[in-house]
Amino acid sequence: MRSRKRSTYTVILGLAILALLADRFLLGYGQARRAEAGGATVPTKPHVRPEPGSGDSQGPEPRGPGPTSRAADRLRALARRERIDMNDVSDAFAVGRSWLAEKPPAAPAVPAEESAASAFRNAHQFIGILTDELGSSAIVGDVCLRVGDVLDGFVLVSIGDRVVVFARGKTRVELGLSKGN
């Protein structure tokens, strides 16, 4: 038991060291390079969005080498090439109108009770009837029910020879025995 606990701690320590190395050498690569070059690791110029109509539609200056600034440079170049005025862009992640499909006409509304009855009918199968000294019980799926019991919001109101009737409000659902039963 003691060796298992020790090996668990060893694995956790190894994962922590791997995470530290990944943070230092993979994720912090750009800032470490700037520090080596004598540059500041924190931008000295605050990120300010240009005022509309100021003529500077390209945004703030790049902060230095790194994957983020290279991507930003590419986006600026694309905006210049495509002649996109960045002051007119309200949401960079919005889907263009040409990508949206025409909405199909709405299907005729089915009353909620009718669809609930249909869903109940599709979800449950009437298996059979049990009779004992207390009366009859209906087997619906894997549940044994007596008159007055509730199943998915529907109350069992009657048990016939080959059919059971459930009701919820004014909606009635009949489940019949299949021909094999």
What is the C-alpha separation between 110 and 25, in angstroms, rounded? 60
- This prediction has a pTM of 0.39
Evaluate the CA torsion angle 144, 148, 149, 155 in order and state its sign. Answer: positive
Based on the fold, state whether residues 81 and 121 are members of the same structural domain: no
Report the domain count for the chain: 3
pLDDT for 155-167, tens place per residue?
Answer: 999 998 889 999 9
pLDDT for 53-101, tens place per residue?
Answer: 555 545 555 455 666 778 888 888 888 888 887 777 777 677 766 677 6
- Assign residue 117 the CATH number of its domain: 2.30.30
Burial class from Cβ neighbours inside 10 Å (0-12, 13-18, 19+) for residue 38 reads: exposed
What is the residue range of 53's domain? 46-102
In this model, does residue 44 exceed pLDDT 50? no
> pLDDT averaged over the chain?
76
Token pair listed for 46: 């605050």
Based on the fold, state whether residues 36 and 53 are members of the same structural domain: no
Which of 128, 135, 120 minimizes the C-alpha distance to 163? 128
